[in-house]
Chain A
Amino acid sequence: MNRRVINRRLDRCFKTLGAISTIFGLLVLLILIVDVLIDGIPRLKWDFFMSFPSRKPEAAGILSAWVGTLWVMAVTALIALPLGIGAGIYLEEYAKKNRLTNFIEINIANLAGVPSVIYGLLGLGLFVRFFKLERSIIAGGFTLALLTLPVIILSTREALRAIPFSIREASYALGATKWQTVRYQILPCALGNILTGIILALSRAIGETAPLITIGALTYIAFLPRSLLDPFTVLPIQIFNWISRPQKGFFANAAAGIIVLLFLTLVMNTIAIVLRQRYQKKVRW
């Protein structure tokens, strides 16, 4: 066999290896989903959604968990969205190239890499202790908002950067002010991509467990919150609690909870991806 043939075979082998490596993660994800479905499907009944946690695995449910997740995510979105989009607009459209801007940019890039459990410590020191919000929904929402801010800022900036400069110039030429240009030209154009980033950021936030445990979110809540200052639990914390119980019966509950959580994140991600692809196809500058 000459070297050329060997080389060609090596090339083919590598191609197969590459394809296997690429789908390896997806195969694992598939196994994970099947495993969770087998364990959890029997528990997925109406009662499971409408019951509080309990000491008996068969009677326990995720009512307080999903209601808590809804509350916390609402607070997170209400705070993180305007601030994140605002910051993105400022950095992309208004900021002059100077030291302060540069510092803010590096700072945001760094924040995006800070482990989520550290945000939990920040929330514990700042919101829970310093502002005396205790282990409340609002403290949890604030903490997750700070965590998702860098992601939203970065994706907003990327969306704005994709808008060609000629759109801005045309708007200025018609006598529009800076804000009018941003409000009526740039934002509507970038909306699709901004929305994609927001959905992805929020789908991450839904699954966050560590920061909320760190600020002291409870694992056993047998009532529904009435105000933003009430204690809370969320779906991932409830799942974590069930996994760490020694009794086997709770594992099925954890699996059922995971099905709900996975369903939420997968649906949000699919929406985001479809949105992005449709948007990219439709608009060609």
Chain B
Amino acid sequence: MQQKKRIPLKLKEFLIEKGLFFCSLLSVFTTFGIVLVLSFETFEFFKEVPILKFLTDTQWTPLFVNKHFGILPLLCGTFLTSLIAIGVAAPIGLVSAVYLSEYASLKTRNIVKPLMEILAAVPTVVYGYFALLFVTPLLKKIIPNLSGFNSLSSGIVMGIMIIPLVSSLSEDAMRAVPMGLREGAYAVGSNRLQVALRIVLPAASSGITAAFILAVSRAIGETMIVAIAAGQQPRFTLNPFVPIETITAYIVQVSLGDTPYGTLEYRTIFACGMALFILTFILNIFSFKLKKRFQEVYE
């Protein structure tokens, strides 16, 4: 009796394969979903706001009576915080990558690397708390005219958050450099530091650049730290001591309010999301291509 109820083996195999195929197609649907949702609302937005104004106006006040829709202040805030973040993460991450790849023993690496992963796993809202209530008061002692909300402390904390990313990706790139190159340099009398700085770093440069670009992309998309500690005042400035607003923080700000569905204010967050998506997409692709290049050279 049971034999009859069984699905034929071939059919079962076929169905399973198709089912698994559908699972992997879902990721394509997700991308289409993102692009569709963003473009639809952005298109509606640009019906009311000319695209040129959006890109050149230096004021962003969609929630005020006197409305201006210039994304430049938000872009400026985003770049400022990302710049500070990468300014912190790049040197520290790179030096630590050289250390882990060229100096540290296997034992040290096996202990340190998982610990660094934990640093990257801390929820960003926690980092936001830290930036607002620990780093800002600390910085205020050194810089008295620092505002309670500022891009400096959020940028620094964001930088600390992306150190593991920079460090582990750069280390991967350095370890992909063939041993022969190092041995050649040692044979002509170089020491460890010379090998690291003059042989390994240049040889791994495209992989390291890829790591930096990915880190910038991560910083641009980071939301909670800036939403908590950088303030919510769109400002066209590069002064790191005053409150600013990033693209991501604006999206959070609007989402927290009661902006009715279908209004122009509601659509601004999708236009901002589109700008953010394009920006990070370009950086990610660029980083991906660079990484592929260094893999092709040495594998």
Contacts and interface: CB of A to CB of B under 8 A. Distances in A.
Interface of A: 7-8, 10-11, 14-15, 17-19, 21-26, 28-29, 31-32, 35-36, 39, 82-84, 86-87, 89-91, 94-95, 103-104, 106-111, 113-122, 124-126, 129, 146, 149-150, 153, 177-179, 200, 203-204, 206-210, 213-216, 219, 236, 239-240, 243-244, 251, 254-255, 258, 261-262, 265-266, 269-270, 273, 277
Contact of B125 (A22, A24, A240): A240
Contacts of A261: 123, 125-126
B64 interface: no
B119 interface: yes
Given A10-B193, A120-B255, A219-B256, A115 B221 contact: yes
18 contacts: A11-B191, A11-B193, A21-B92, A21-B99, A87-B20, A89-B20, A90-B24, A115-B280, A121-B37, A122-B38, A124-B37, A149-B30, A209-B223, A210-B252, A213-B252, A216-B255, A255-B129, A262-B122
Interface in B184-230: 191-194, 196, 214, 217-218, 220-224, 227-228
B270 A121 contact: yes
Interface of B: 9, 12-13, 16-17, 19-21, 23-28, 30-31, 33-34, 37-38, 40-41, 91-93, 95-96, 98-100, 103-104, 112, 114-119, 121-130, 132-134, 160, 163-164, 167, 191-194, 196, 214, 217-218, 220-224, 227-228, 248, 251-252, 255-256, 261, 269-270, 273, 276-277, 280-281, 284-285, 288
A92 to B, nearest CB: 10
A236 B123 contact: yes
Contacts, number: 263
B121 A115 contact: no
A25 B164 contact: yes
Contacts of B281: 110, 114
Contact of B27 (A29, A111, A115, A258): A111
Contacts of B255: 120, 124, 213-216
Contacts of A15: 99, 103
A86 B285 CA distance: 26
B100 A22 contact: yes
A240 B21 contact: no
Contacts of B288: 106, 109-110
Contacts of B96: 18, 21-22, 24
